[in-house]
Amino acid sequence: MANHKSALKRNKQSIVRRDRNTQARSTMRTMVKNVRLAVAEQNKDAATAALTQAVPYIDKMATRGIIHKATASRKISRLTKLVNTLA
pLDDT value for 35:
97
Rounded CA separation 13/2 (Å): 13
Reading the chain (87 residues) residue by residue, the pLDDT tens digits are: 778 999 999 999 999 999 999 999 999 999 999 999 999 999 999 999 999 999 999 999 999 999 999 999 999 999 999 999 997
Residue type, 85: T
Choose among 80, 86, 76: nearest CA to 44.
86
DSSP state, 23?
H
